[in-house]
Amino acid sequence: MVTLTWALSLLLNHQMELNKVQDELNTHIGKDRKVDESDIKNLVYLQAVVKETLRLYPPSPIITLHAAMNDCTFSCGYHIPAGTQLIVNVWKIHRDARVWTDPHDFKPGRFLTSHRDVDVRSPNYELVPFGSGRRVCPGASLALRVVQLTLARLLHSFNVVSPSNQSVDMTGSPGLTNLKATPLEVVLTPRLDTNLYEN
C-alpha cells in the first residue's frame, strides 16, 4: 500500500512518465484484455517506475537490528567494532549524489540507462528498500510482484488524475513506515471496453 501510494503520487506529478507507462501498457497489452502476471516481464518502464519509487520513498526509511560482524574502519576514519548495533539510513543511501545523478528527482529512465544493472537484490547496496544480506525482507519478491501487477492493472484499466489537476503533496510523515502525510485523492475514469470491468 505504501509503495503504491507513492508511485501513483509521483506519476500524477509527472504526467510524461505516466503517459510512458500507459503507452507501454497499450503496446504490450492492448485494450481488449487485462494485464496478466506473465506480462510484467515485458513492462520494463513500469518496473523502472517501481524501482525509482522504492529509491525515493522506501517503505521503511531506516533499517534496524543489524550488528557489525567484524571490526571495520571506513575510509573517512570511523572505526566500528564487531558487535556494534547499527541503524542503516536507507533514505540517505538512496539519495547519495555520488551514486545517483539528480538524486532527489523522479527519473525512472535511469533504470533503463545508467543504472540498468541496479536491482533491489544488487550486491553493491545502491538500492536496498528491503534491506540486504541475511536480514533481507523475506517477502521482497512477493512485494515486488504484487506492486508491479497492481500498478499495471490500475494504470491499464483507468485514466488517473488528481482532483482539479492539482499537484500531489509529497510530504511524508515521521515514523518507521514511510507514509504520506496527507491522503492521496485520485479521480479514475475507465480506459478499456466496458465488458472487461464486469468480472
Q: Is 76 annotated as a binding residue?
A: no
- DSSP string of the chain? -HHHHHHHHHHHH-HHHHHHHHHHHHHHT-SSS---GGGGGG-HHHHHHHHHHHHHS-SSSEEEEEE-SS-EE-TTS-EE-TT-EEEEEHHHHHT-TTTSSSTTS--GGGGTTTTTT--TT-TT-S--TT--GGGS-TTHHHHHHHHHHHHHHHHHHEEEE-GGGPPPP--B-SSSS--BSS----EEEE-S-GGGG--
Contacts 24+ apart (CB under 8 A), 15-19: 17/49, 17/106, 17/108, 18/155, 18/160
Instruction: Compute how many other C-beta atoms are within 10 angstroms of the C-beta atom of residue 175.
Output: 10
CA distance 134 to 95: 24
Annotated binding site for heme: 137
Annotated binding site: 137
